[in-house]
Amino acid sequence: MSLGRGLESLIPAKTIKKVALDGLAQTGERVYDISIEQIDPSPNQPRQNFTRTDMEELINSIQANGIIQPLILVKKENGRYEIIAGERRWRSAKILGLKTVPSLIRAIDVNKKLEIALLENIQRKDLNAMEKARAYQRLIDEFNLTQKDISKRLGMARATIANTLRLLRLPEVVQNAVEQEKISEGHAKTLCSINDPAKQEMFLKRILGLGLTVRETAKMVNTKRIRR
């Protein structure tokens, strides 16, 4: 199943364009107004950090136009709801003090729910490289997917998946630097070409201390190799 087909199983082909105030979409697809307090975030959300700055554009959009695209929820055994897609919309609505959010309720097999949640969230542009790498690894560990399987579902080159997963081998201090946006994904992938963790940390200090670009970092790493 590709990512596109997976999401189509949750959102009907006739795309919901606008949610009416009475909880019905213009297309006739039933949308429920669910209390924000009855909704829990997904434990499978790859993104670890949500800041007001990151969501400012979405918050302004919701304030001006309301929530255009409904959240996708699954009802839990305890009667509460869990987010499959739309956590940023939910968080933005909470910030704005909204009481309810328009939502589609889906009955999904637990394992399929987890897989779809991960795949849906991985494609977000605002995930950093480490968050993507950990999400890929979860798909491998928990759903027995191969790198080839993941590449097919996401429509990405297998090499891209493999290179991102390599970031998990970096020392924790380097991984933290990527998450905190002190260095770029390009810097981190360049450091992956070094097999010695101590040297990786040494080059990290140089990148931070000298403000090296990815190209400058690659040149320095290659120069050190030639001199050996």
With helix as H, strand as E and coil as C, how does 10-53 read? CCCCCCCCCECCCCEECCCCECEEEEHHHEECCCCCCCCCCCHH
Considering only residues 194 and 114, tell me which one the structure prediction assigns the higher pLDDT.
194
CA–centroid distance for 106 within its chain: 21
Report pLDDT digits (tens) over 67-94: 988 988 888 888 899 888 888 899 999 9
pLDDT at 24 over 50: no
Model pLDDT, residue 88: 86
Average confidence score pLDDT of the chain: 80
Delimit the CATH 3.90.1530.10 region(s) of the chain: 3-108
The answer to whether residues 46 and 116 touch, using CB atoms and an 8 Å cutoff, is no
Determine the angle formed by the axes of helices 129-143 and 172-179, rounding to 10 degrees: 120
Catalytic: which of 56, 57, 87, 216? 87
Considering only residues 47 and 6, tell me which one the structure prediction assigns the higher pLDDT.
47
> In the numeric block, which tokens belong to residue 43?
């434990």
- Can you tell me whether residue 102 is helix, strand or coil? strand
Report pLDDT digits (tens) over 169-206: 999 999 999 999 999 999 999 999 999 999 999 999 99
pTM exceeding 0.75:
no
Considering only residues 110 and 185, tell me which one the structure prediction assigns the higher pLDDT.
185
CATH class of 3-108: alpha beta
Considering only residues 119 and 80, tell me which one the structure prediction assigns the higher pLDDT.
80
Give start and end residues of each alpha helix (H) in 45-108.
52-65, 87-95
Length of the chain: 228
Reply yes or no on whether 87 is catalytic.
yes
Give start and end residues of each alpha helix (H) in 75-196.
87-95, 110-122, 129-143, 147-154, 158-165, 172-179, 185-191
pLDDT at 3 over 80: no
Model pLDDT, residue 28: 54
Model pLDDT, residue 43: 75
> In the numeric block, which tokens belong to residue 223?
């120069």
Q: How many CB atoms lie within 10 A of CB 8?
A: 13
> In the numeric block, which tokens belong to residue 85?
């897609």
Considering only residues 46 and 195, tell me which one the structure prediction assigns the higher pLDDT.
195
